[in-house]
Each structure stands twice: as structure tokens, then as C-alpha cells.
């Protein structure tokens, strides 16, 4: 008979918790959200032996369970609520061998909740080089637990960890710190008021400021009547608790930990002096960005051409081999080109996530946050604002949600409002196809024009975010305190497995999320483009034959398709908005693509792929179709002026309706997202208008 265990993975940020999670669960993991909140939830399965499965949940990183953010409150909610389906049978607290003292604070808190807790000391391969020695038997005895020494880099210690998990029942549940000693009378009264309840659990519920949604309501309502101390007195008791815990930790480590400082190297400090230098730090960071953008274009060119040709071949096969009819047309002209319009950009999206993952894994991204704090302060932002601004290059939605760790409401609100200016990965397909069409080949100082243009688009988005942040800082009359604290983790060589899983997970999420929207919009667009009102659509072939009797049959067919498209439902809609967008250099087809791409930016290319496939029966790639499209005056539709204007529009316009929704959720008001939508749209239109008029 098979058994299962719920296992919670806890730890400070940068302790290798996610690396251990990946090593144990591999591809057997899924990512979702916690019920009621938009915080990411990672779960995975690992077979511990022939009869037992472990269900691992990778909880958000936290320094303690005295929650001060939504991420940390998620941890507390789970650990205090035995009715939660994810409530752990045991907990693994992951500690970095170089920061054992700080990591053990969380360990003592979890253990005092009566949950069987195993201490997992990660990065064991670094001990010899760092001059660290541990007396494991002494540590196990004083901490009343079992300890696993693991190295996710060298993949060692995992089998021993699984054995400890299987034998978790032998681990003592006895508290390590007597919480009542910090105020005997207060805790005696608390214990008498709630007999049979775990004292530390009662204390945690009293001290938490978070709005718990999952803990037993009756217990909370009862405790709310236990008001014997003010908030300031509770805070002082929390400080006493922390001091008492560290006194205990110091006594433990005095016996079980030795560090030979002479054998430790100062490599990290030397590297930090360069990477976070006031001048060289910025130069290195922007050089890295330049290399990333160059690589995104040069490395992805071959796989993109291959994918483009594959979807062109699939459309051709469907059109030539399936019975003629509505379904075949829908498949060959709607679904396949629409999906091809997003799949073609998988290489570029994957390379973007690859570089971001490597920067995060090495510990460099934390240095960027520290470095940028100096500059961001003058714009009314903190160093923590750079995390949403940089993570916005992947997607604005999790980037906006990551502002929750910014303590100042004013700084958090401004960061939320300016983050959509950061170029997200959904804009990358738009930029990529337009840059390929309108930016000429060539090099400047060894850098290609195409790569420089992509770098420019990312930079103007970031600079605009700073400019708007400065304006908001001087105009918003919101007063709130702020402070900036960040940990600079040790430098690490990225784990290939971690990077690969991150790229796979993020790319898969991107494609699945975009694929559903594109499929639905492709079908809708095909229907709107294949049918139309009035005689112009229904009698299109007769009208063209009468108007151009001298043309060959193939040319008649092409003009008929084009005429029908202009008089279809989508054509009528497009031509109705054409007067508004003509000053920007766009035609009605681009107008339709702009409207549909508000569902998701990447839909832009899929929309044009569907429209051009309906208009033209020849099986050519989307890039070639766009490159050959001409205006009524015979000039190319996508030229330097119109293409640059369109890229500028996408650089400044509101990203998508999902971003709008998450801004509403995070600000708890429609005032900010609607104002954001209006301002960004007007700004994008005005600057795109100037760009087109100047370049044309």
C-alpha cells in the first residue's frame, strides 16, 4: 500500500532551497498560485522509496515567521493551519553552510511549532574551501533534530536526506526555546486562557499583522479578546524573543561550528569592489545587457527560420491534402499561421530567460539591485524597485506583484505605475519581426544595427519609467517611510539543471498562456475575415473581373482575396479606425493587430499572420508576406519610418489587459489602472506620431 507525505521546504532567500527542490522533484513539478492571492506556488513529487511518495511544496523564502510581507504571511498561514491540505507532515529547513547562524533563527521557530523538522545544510562542498568544520552529532543533539549535509551542485547527500525523511517520526517535537521566559506572567495568563493549545502558535497568531484567510477563525476571534498588551509592547516582546533565540543559537554553534578564517578567501570582496563600483559597475552591467541583446538576435536566427519554414510547410500540407472546405481554410489560414506567429519566437524568449536565470543564479542580480539603489533614489524609487523593473523584462504581471516587498506605499505605488514601461518578453516578438523588416544589416563598433535597436527599445522604456517616476514623486502627496535592506549572496557557478528547468518552465508558461489566447483570436479573426456584409463581399469575384478583365486568372484571384478582406467584417472594423492611425504610418491591418494585441502583446504577429494568410493563398512565410506588403501609393507598408513608429508605440503603450487587471488588484482601485491606461496610450500615440513624421 502506497503512502504519501507532505513536506514543506523552508529557508532564507539564497540558501539553495529552489535548487534542492529541483534536485528532488526534477520535471515532476507544477507551478500555480496560492488560493486567493497571486503569489507563486511550486509543488513537486519525489519517490522516496518503493511505497512512499513525497509531495514537496517550495514555500517563499523568508528570514523568519514574524511576517512583514504577503510572501511571508503565506508561510505562516500554512504552518498554523492543520486543516490546510498542504499542511506539512514534516518540514525541511534549508540552511547555507556559510550563514548558519542567521538561518537557524527560522529553524528554531519552525521547530517550536511542533512540526518534525530536519535541518538541511546546503553547499556542503564549500566547507573545506571556506575552512568550515561541523560537529554533526553535537549539533543534532543540541538542536534535537537530524541533519543532512547536501550539495545540490555535486548532487550529494540526497539519498541520506530521503532516508531521514522516511524516518521523520523519530525526530523530537520538543520546543528549543521556552517562549514563556520572556514574560512569565503574560504567557502564564495566555496559557490559562487557552488550555491545550500550543503556546508558540498562540503567540504567533497574536503577533501577526497579516490578514490570514486560512487559519481557524474561532481561534483568532478568541485571541482577539486577549488584549493585555499594546502593539509597542508586543513588538518589544518579539525583540526579546529574537535575542533569546540568538543566545540559544550562539551556544549551539559554539560547540558545533568552527571556522578557520585563515583558509577563507577574499575573492568575493575583490569582485564586489568592481561589480558594484560607482563607475565600472554601471559600465559592466550595460555591457552585459548589450551582449544579451546581440545574442538574442544572432543565436536565434537559425532556429527561427527553421520554425517559420515548418509552419509554412504545415499550412501547405493542410491546404493541399485536406478536402476543400471551411475547416481546411480555418486550419491552413487561421490556426496554423496564428500559432506559427508565436512559436517562431520561442528561441528568442528562451534565450532571454536563459540569460536572466544565469544572472540570478550567479548572485549578480542582487548586486545590480544594490548598484541601482544609488541612482533610483533621486527618482523616488528604492533599490528594491529594480527587481520589478528588471523582472518586467520577463512579464509585467509577476513584476508588479513583486513590489509587495517594498515597505513604503508611495515607492510601491510608483513602481507599480511605471513597471509596464519595461519591455516584457511578450513585446519581444513584435520588436523582433519589425527590426528584421525595417532595420538594415550592418555593424557599428562591432555591434549589429539590429541588436543596437533592440537595446535602444529596452533602454527608452527604462528611461521613460524613471522619468515618469520622478514626475509622480514630485506630484503625489503620499507620505510614507522607507528603508532599503538587501543581502548580497555568495557568487556561485550556475547549476545547469536549475537554469534548464527555469528556461523550460518560463518558456512553457509563456507559450501555453499566449497559445490559448492566440488560438481563440486566430479563429475569431478568420471568421471575421472570411465573411462580410453586403454585395461587395458576396460579389467580390464578379466585381474584380469586370474591373480588371485583362488580368490573368492568378492575378484575379489575388485581387479578389484582397478585395474580400477589405470588405469583410474585420476589414470594415479596420477601415473605421484607419483615419486615427494613418498619421502614425499604419494601415487598417496594423490597426486590427494593435487592438487584438491588447489581449496579449505577442498576438500582434499572429493576427497579421492570420490576416495575410486569408488575403493571400500562396504559402509563404509571415516575414516575407509582411516585407512585400505595399500601401495604396505603391510604397512598402513596413519601412523605417512606420516600423520605428510602431516599435515606439509598443514601447510606451499599456502592455495588456492582464497587466491592467493586476494593477487594479495590487492598488485595490480602478483609479490607478485606468489613469495608467489613458496616460500611456496618449503618450505612445504622441511619440509615435512625432517619430513617423520626422523619419518620413
* Pairing between β-strand 117-122 and β-strand 147-149 as defined by DSSP bridges: parallel
In a 3-state reduction of DSSP, which class is residue 155? Answer: coil
Secondary structure of 240-294 in HEC code, one letter for each residue: HHHHHHHHHHHHHHHHHEEECHHHCCCHHHHHHHHHCCCCHHHHHHHHHHHHHHH
* Pairing between β-strand 3-11 and β-strand 90-96 as defined by DSSP bridges: parallel
Read off the pLDDT of residues 608-619 as tens digits, 9 standing for 90 and up: 776 666 555 555
pLDDT, average across residues 576-590: 86
pLDDT at 686 over 90: yes
Residue with cell string 513584435: 430
Alpha-carbon distance 541 to 568, whole Å? Answer: 14
Alpha-carbon distance 551 to 553, whole Å? Answer: 7
Task: Please give the radius of gyration of the chain, using alpha carbons only, rounded to the nearest integer.
Answer: 30
Alpha-carbon distance 159 to 529, whole Å? Answer: 60
What is residue 224's DSSP assignment? Answer: H
Supply 343's cell numbers. 512559436
Read off the pLDDT of residues 379-425 as tens digits, 9 standing for 90 and up: 877 667 776 777 677 667 667 766 766 767 788 888 888 888 888 77
Alpha-carbon distance 338 to 331, whole Å? Answer: 10
CATH topology of domain 3-263: Rossmann fold (3.40.50)
State the chain's mean pLDDT as an integer.
Answer: 78
**What pLDDT is recorded for position 682?**
93
* Pairing between β-strand 3-11 and β-strand 52-58 as defined by DSSP bridges: parallel
User: Hey, where are the domains in the chain?
Assistant: 3-263, 280-475, 510-695
Which whole-number Å values give the CA distances from 34 to 57, 78, 94, in the listed order? Answer: 11, 10, 22
pLDDT at 483 over 70: no
Alpha-carbon distance 9 to 506, whole Å? Answer: 21
Predicted TM-score (pTM) above 0.75: no
Question: Which candidate, 273, 489, 455, places its Cα nearest to that of 364?
Answer: 489
Confidence band for 680, pLDDT divided at 50, 70 and 90: very high
Supply 561's cell numbers. 482575396
Supply 196's cell numbers. 491545550
How much of the chain, in percent, has pLDDT values that exceed 90?
6
Alpha-carbon distance 54 to 138, whole Å? Answer: 28
**What pLDDT is recorded for position 37?**
41
Alpha-carbon distance 311 to 609, whole Å? Answer: 11
Read off the pLDDT of residues 15-43 as tens digits, 9 standing for 90 and up: 888 888 888 887 665 655 444 443 566 88
Spatial neighbors of 542 by CB under 8 A, at least 6 apart, are none
**What pLDDT is recorded for position 264?**
46
Q: Is the dihedral of CA 195, 6, 13, 417 positive or negative?
A: negative
Alpha-carbon distance 457 to 446, whole Å? Answer: 19
Alpha-carbon distance 210 to 198, whole Å? Answer: 20
Spatial neighbors of 502 by CB under 8 A, at least 6 apart, are 353, 357
Alpha-carbon distance 631 to 578, whole Å? Answer: 13
pLDDT at 304 over 90: no
pLDDT at 211 over 50: no
Neighbours of 323 (CB within 10 A): 6
**What pLDDT is recorded for position 652?**
92
Instruction: Identify the residue with better confidence: 29 or 325.
Output: 325
Which whole-number Å values give the CA distances from 295 to 173, 199, 442, 467, 529, in the listed order? Answer: 53, 57, 15, 29, 38
Read off the pLDDT of residues 642-665 as tens digits, 9 standing for 90 and up: 889 999 999 998 877 777 777 887
pLDDT at 621 over 90: no
Instruction: Identify the residue with better confidence: 351 or 266.
Output: 351
**What pLDDT is recorded for position 486?**
62
Supply 250's cell numbers. 550562539
Which whole-number Å values give the CA distances from 29 to 41, 153, 290, 502, 569, in the listed order? Answer: 10, 20, 34, 12, 44
How many CA atoms does the CB half-sphere of 197 hold within 13 Å?
25
Residue with cell string 494593435: 594
Q: Is the dihedral of CA 554, 555, 559, 562 positive or negative?
A: positive
Contact assessment for residue 65 and residue 201, using Cβ atoms and an 8 Å cutoff: no
pLDDT, average across residues 115-126: 85
**What pLDDT is recorded for position 225?**
55
Contact assessment for residue 687 and residue 648, using Cβ atoms and an 8 Å cutoff: yes
Question: Beta strands of 28-130 (E only): which ranges?
Answer: 29-33, 40-47, 52-58, 90-96, 117-122
Confidence band for 69, pLDDT divided at 50, 70 and 90: low
Read off the pLDDT of residues 356-375 as tens digits, 9 standing for 90 and up: 788 878 888 778 777 777 77
Residue with cell string 500550543: 198
> H/E element holding 691?
helix 671-695
**What pLDDT is recorded for position 217?**
41
Secondary structure of 286-343 in HEC code, one letter for each residue: HHHHHHHHHHHHHHHHHHHHHHHHHHHHHHHHHHHHCCCCHHHHHHHHHHHHHHHHHH
Order of strands, edge to edge, in the sheet holding 90-96? Answer: 29-33, 40-47, 52-58, 3-11, 90-96, 117-122, 147-149
Amino acid at each position: 500500500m502506497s503512502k504519501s507525505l507532505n513536506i514543506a521546504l523552508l529557508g532564507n532567500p539564497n540558501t539553495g532551497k529552489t535548487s534542492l527542490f529541483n534536485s528532488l522533484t526534477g520535471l515532476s513539478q507544477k507551478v500555480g498560485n496560492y488560493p486567493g492571492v497571486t503569489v507563486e506556488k511550486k509543488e513537486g513529487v519525489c519517490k522516496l522509496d518503493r511505497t512512499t511518495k513525497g509531495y514537496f511544496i517550495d514555500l517563499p523564502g523568508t528570514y523568519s515567521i514574524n511576517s512583514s510581507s504577503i510572501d511571508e504571511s503565506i508561510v505562516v498561514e500554512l504552518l498554523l493551519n492543520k486543516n490546510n491540505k498542504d499542511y506539512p507532515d514534516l518540514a525541511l529547513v534549508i540552511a547555507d553552510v556559510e550563514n548558519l547562524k542567521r538561518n537557524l533563527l527560522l529553524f528554531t521557530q519552525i521547530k517550536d511549532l511542533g512540526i518534525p523538522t530536519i535541518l538541511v545544510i546546503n553547499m556542503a562542498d564549500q566547507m573545506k574551501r571556506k575552512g568550515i568544520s561541523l560537529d554533526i552529532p553535537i549539533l543534532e543533539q543540541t538542536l534535537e533534530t537530524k541533519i543532512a549535509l547536501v550539495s545540490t551542485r555535486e548532487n550529494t547527500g540526497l539519498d541520506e536526506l530521503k532516508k531521514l525523511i522516511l524516518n521523520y517520526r523519530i525526530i523530537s517535537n520538543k520546543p528549543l526555546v521556552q517562549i514563556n521566559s520572556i514574560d512569565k506572567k503574560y504567557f502564564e495568563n495566555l496559557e490559562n486562557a487557552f488550555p491545550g493549545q500550543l503556546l508558540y502558535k498562540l503567540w504567533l497568531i497574536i503577533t501577526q499583522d497579516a490578514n490570514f484567510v486560512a487559519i481557524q477563525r474561532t481561534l483568532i476571534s478568541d485571541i482577539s479578546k486577549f488584549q493585555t498588551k499594546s502593539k509597542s509592547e508586543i513588538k518589544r516582546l518579539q525583540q526579546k524573543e529574537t535575542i533569546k533565540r540568538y543566545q540559544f543559537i550562539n551556544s549551539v554553534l559554539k560547540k558545533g561550528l568552527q571556522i578557520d578564517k585563515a583558509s577563507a578567501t577574499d575573492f568575493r570582496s575583490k569582485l564586489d569592489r568592481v561589480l558594484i563600483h560607482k563607475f565600472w559597475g554601471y559600465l559592466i552591467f550595460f555591457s552585459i545587457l548589450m551582449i544579451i541583446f546581440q545574442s538574442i538576435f544572432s543565436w536565434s536566427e537559425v532556429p527561427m527560420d527553421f520554425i517559420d519554414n515548418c509552419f509554412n510547410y504545415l499550412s501547405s500540407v493542410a491546404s493541399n491534402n485536406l478536402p476543400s472546405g471551411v475547416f481546411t481554410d480555418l486550419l491552413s489560414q487561421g490556426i496554423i499561421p496564428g500559432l506559427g506567429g508565436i512559436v517562431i519566437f520561442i528561441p528568442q524568449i528562451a534565450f532571454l530567460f536563459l540569460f536572466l536565470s544565469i544572472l540570478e543564479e550567479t548572485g549578480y542580480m542582487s548586486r545590480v539591485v544594490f548598484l541601482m539603489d544609488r541612482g533610483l533614489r533621486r527618482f523616488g524609487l528604492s533599490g528594491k524597485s529594480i527587481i520589478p523593473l528588471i523582472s518586467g523584462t520577463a512579464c509585467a504581471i509577476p513584476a508588479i506583484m513583486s513590489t509587495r516587498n517594498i515597505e513604503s506605499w508611495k515607492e510601491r505605488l510608483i513602481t507599480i505605475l511605471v513597471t509596464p514601461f519595461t519591455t516584457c518578453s511578450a513585446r519581444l516578438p513584435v520588436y523582433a519581426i519589425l527590426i528584421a523588416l525595417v532595420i538594415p544589416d550592418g555593424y557599428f563598433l562591432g555591434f549589429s544595427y539590429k541588436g543596437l535597436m533592440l537595446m535602444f527599445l529596452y533602454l527608452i522604456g527604462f528611461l521613460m519609467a524613471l522619468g515618469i517616476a520622478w514626475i509622480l514623486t514630485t506630484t503625489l502627496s503620499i507620505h510614507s517611510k522607507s528603508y532599503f535592506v538587501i543581502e548580497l549572496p555568495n557568487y556561485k557557478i550556475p547549476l545547469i539543471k536549475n537554469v534548464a528547468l527555469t528556461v523550460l518552465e518560463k518558456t512553457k508558461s509563456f507559450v501555453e498562456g499566449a497559445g490559448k489566447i492566440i488560438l481563440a483570436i486566430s479563429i475569431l479573426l478568420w471568421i471575421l475575415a472570411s465573411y462580410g456584409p453586403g454585395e461587395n463581399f458576396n460579389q467580390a469575384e464578379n466585381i474584380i473581373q469586370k474591373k480588371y478583365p485583362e488580368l490573368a486568372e492568378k492575378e484575379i484571384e489575388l485581387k479578389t482575396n484582397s478585395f474580400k478582406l477589405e470588405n469583410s467584417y474585420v476589414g470594415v472594423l479596420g477601415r473605421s479606425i484607419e483615419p486615427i492611425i494613418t498619421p502614425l504610418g499604419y494601415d487598417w491591418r496594423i490597426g486590427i493587430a494593435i487592438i487584438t494585441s491588447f489581449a496579449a502583446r505577442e498576438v500582434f504577429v499572429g493576427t497579421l499572420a492570420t490576416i495575410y494568410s486569408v488575403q493571400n493563398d500562396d504559402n509563404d512565410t509571415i516575414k516575407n508576406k509582411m516585407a512585400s506588403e505595399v500601401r495604396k501609393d505603391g510604397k512598402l507598408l513596413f519601412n523605417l519610418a512606420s516600423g520605428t513608429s510602431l516599435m515606439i508605440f509598443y514601447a510606451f503603450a499599456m502592455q495588456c489587459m492582464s497587466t491592467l487587471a493586476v494593477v487594479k488588484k495590487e492598488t485595490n482601485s480602478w483609479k490607478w489602472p485606468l489613469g495608467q491606461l489613458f496616460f500611456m496610450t496618449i503618450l505612445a500615440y504622441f511619440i509615435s506620431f512625432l517619430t513617423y513624421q520626422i523619419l518620413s
